[in-house]
Every structure is written in structure tokens, then in C-alpha cells.
Amino acid sequence: MNTIPHWINGAEVTSETTAPVFNPATGAEQAQVVLGGSTEIDAAVQAAAAAFETWQDSSLSQRVQVMFNFRQLLVDHEEELGRIISAEHGKTIDDARGEITRGREVVEYVCGLGDVLKGSFSDQVSRGVDVHNFRQPLGVVAGITPFNFPAMVPLWMHPVAIATGNTFILKPSERDPSAANFVAELYKKAGLPDGVFNVVHGGKDAVDAILTHPGIEAVSFVGSTPIAKYVHEQATAHGKRVQALGGAKNHAVVLPDADLEFAANHITAGAYGSAGERCMAVSVAVAVGDAADSLVEILTRKAGEVKVGPGDVPGIEMGPLVTKAAQERVENAVTTAHAQGATVVVDGRGLKIEGHEDGFFTGPSLLDHVTTEMDAYKEELFGPVLAIVRADSLDQAIELINANPYGNGTALFTGSGEAARRFQRRIKVGMIGINVPVPVPMSYYSFGGWKDSLIGDSPIHGPEGVRFYTRPKVVTTRWPEPRQQVTAGFNFPTSS
């Protein structure tokens, strides 16, 4: 049985406590991951703090060169890393490659960090006085990341942190931990000094140690809203900066003037891709007016065509859920929806894949006539379940979405520029797609929702990510000429 260790100060480190890691396609235990706590977190902090002393003084060119090397290694090892992700998460290898690509885009963004970190200079703000500003790294920072994107979400954090001069401790999900260790090895090959990037596996003990350790300056988190609130509360109480991205309930609105075949194609992929285990998954389709019956008819056909099976089999479009508990939770949600009055148009419960009968599979489920009072609408199911809510108008759809406590992503399918503009201006959601079902922004923008989808006010990656991992200094200078007498005043200084 393979044991997955921590990675601290450039070396593997073990712990006595372990937890099983399963293959979701077979249901079999395939490895053990070590679980750390305060002792391991403290060791990582000590290593990161020591590395920061020299890393913060490294040149921007040196840091960027490491990122160029790291980026190429991600390209060279994409297939291997994709298979590691698929084996522990369950998603298809193609989907895993996709998340690596989107994570790699953040590395490419920081390869051009010189332009982003440029300060400004103001000449002669007062007689003989100039002002300039620049940004400096925080120190030791940490990331706590979820199971659903074991490569991409951490890549939204640590390249930005490291390229700006910080050192980093990653606490990945213990459900699919191997990707983090693989990335650590790539960093070492890229020339990153030991201690700059560290990995500590664990559960709540490790999380709490990160949130309270006095040597950690900032914490980045992606996960459910209740845990995001907990992380934000605890970390800020201990004087840390916090990025805390929470859950979602993403709506795709379909107007009668939309190309329904096009909309249904993209909504199907957005709802069932990665088995719905995405914070940007389309979990609600709001069918407006006359679009409803035709849209449901097309979605029913397309849901039935989704190819479900092991993620490493070519042609498969949707793999298993990550755990048995997740499978049971999603299937129970469909049962509850039916009991509360929803119409189960497509039923994914009880799916068995030949040769993988013990895998954590469930098929796509499509629910019609869902109301905002039903659990299937209110809860983030995090599985391949698409709920259809019917609305009479675009304005009613906007009101429905704005009343939802989440505000991560939303989409509108329409052929009307006026409707699109009205939607994007009035909707209370952070990331919006127009005829785009999963509007994840490019790496040179920042990712973050509104309301309960973002706790605090710090989005991730892009310009906001650079600001999060650095702090500004403003320097006011005067260089008097030799023997020049400059009178000092006792009044509050002005620029005259």
C-alpha cells in the first residue's frame, strides 16, 4: 500500500496517523495519506520562514525564471499529472488536463509579473521632494484547498504567492492528495529553493493549526461557505489576511429567443461535467416563458446521452463522484426532490457500471418544476443534478437569482443584446457569462463571487491575487544640495 507523505523543506516527511485514499471508479482503497497537525504545520512554518529570508531578496528575474521552468514542466508532465488526478478524484483524464491547463495559465500570468509589480513615481511633488511606491511580499502564507480541483485551485494560489516573494504552505484535500506532492517535485526540478513550497496533509487539526499559527501571515481558502466563514473568522481573529471563497448555486437563464439546441448543449456540459463537482457548475436552469417545454425536452435527450464510466477510459464524459458518501448524498437529494414535488425527468440513481459495480457512480439527473422552496434548489448538491425552474420573464429570473444567498456565477442564453446588457448590469453575481455556461475568468482577471460565495473582499489570482500577497510602501524623499539650508516647520507639512 502506497503511503503519501508530507513535503517539507524539499523532502518527504511522514506522520504516524494516516487515512485511506480511494479510487472512486472501483471503490477500492489505493493508498494511505499521512495526516499532520500542529507539529507538522510548525515544522513547515519554520522551513518556510527560513527560506523567506533569502527568497524575499531574490531578484524578480530569478523568481520569474523559476516560473518559466515550472510552466514547462507542467506541460511536459500534463499526462502523468492528469492520470494522478483522475485516479484519486474520478474525473476524466481530459477534464483533468483541462484543469491543469487553467492552472498553468496563472503560472503564465506571473511569468509577466514585472509589468504588474511596477510602481509609480511622482517628481517634484514639493520643492526638491519626490514620491514613489512599490509592493513587498508578506512572508509565510498558506493555502487550504478542496478536492474538486486538486491541481488548478492550488495553482490559483501558490504561483502568485511565490512569484511575488512569499513562501507557501499548501494543505490540500486528503481525498486526492497526490497531485500536491507531484507539483512539489516539479517545483524542485524547476529550481525553487527548499522550503519555499511545502505540503502538509491533514484534516481539521492541520487547518486549525494554519489559522492560529503566529508565523503565517495570510491564508487562502476555497471550499464550502460554512467552512469559508469559519476560516475567515478564525484567521482574521489571529491577525491574518484571508481569501475565503465559498459555495455556489449557479443559474443559467434561457430566454425564448435563444438557440435552444446551443443552450442545452452547453448547460448539459456545465451541469454534468466533472460529475457536477465544481463550484461553477450549472445547477439551475431558469427557463423563461415559451422556452421551458422545448428546453426540457432537449435537456432530457442530452442528459440521456452523457457517457458515464471510469475516467481513464477514452470517450467517457462523466466519471464517478469522489466518495461513497458523496454518491449517497446526491442520490438522496433526488429522492427528496421527488418527495417535495419535483418531476424527476431523468433519474441517475442506482447506476451500475459493468466491471466497476463498487464504484461511486451516479448518472445525470434532471428535475423539472423545481421551486425555490425545495431543498434541491436551496442546497449546493455538488453532484450531477440539474434543476429546472420556470419563470415568466427575464426580470422575474433576475429577481429569483438576486434573492439567492449565493452569487458565484451565472449565465444568460439569448440573442438579444438589450437583454444581455440588462442582465449583466442588474444581476447580483460576481462572474457572468453571456451564452457562456461556466464563466471562469482568464488568469489576468480575478476569480470571485458575491454574497455567500466570497467571505470578505479578496478574490483570487489575477491583479487581486497580487495585491493579496503583497503590501504597499510609499516613499517620500528629499536629497538637499550640499550646504543647502531647508527650514523645518512645526506645522503639519503641506506640499507648497
What are the residue numbers of the active site? Answer: 279
Angle of the 60-76 helix axis to the 93-110 helix axis, nearest 10: 160
The torsion region of residue 175 among left (phi > 0), alpha (psi -120 to 50) and beta comes to alpha
- Where in 421-495 does DSSP place strands (E)? 431-434, 450-451, 454-455, 470-478
Alpha-carbon gap, residue 454 to 460, rounded angstroms: 10
- Cα–Cα distance list, 490 to 435, 494, 496 (Å): 63, 11, 15
115 Cβ contact list (under 8 Å, min separation 6): none
Q: How many CA atoms are closer than 13 Å to the CA of 90, on its beta-carbon side?
A: 33
In whole angstroms, give the CA distance from residue 383 to residue 367.
13
Cα within 13 Å of Cα(23), Cβ side: 18
The whole-angstrom separation of Cα 250 and Cα 385 is 12
Residues 211-249 as b/e (b if ≥16 CB within 10 A, e otherwise) read bebebbbbbbbbbbbebbebbbebbbeeebbbbbbbbbb
Strand-strand pairing, 11-13 and 6-8: antiparallel
The three cell numbers locating residue 444: 489576468
**Rounded-to-integer distance, Cα 283 and Cα 285, Å:** 7
What grid cell was written down for 232?
Answer: 475567515
- CA 156 to chain centroid: 7
CA neighbor of 406 nearest in space, from 231, 229, 249, 219? 249
Quote the CA–CA distance of 316 and 167 in Å, as a whole number.
Answer: 39
* Enclosing H/E stretch for 52: helix 38-55
The residue among 175, 190, 35, 46 whose CA lies nearest residue 107 is 190
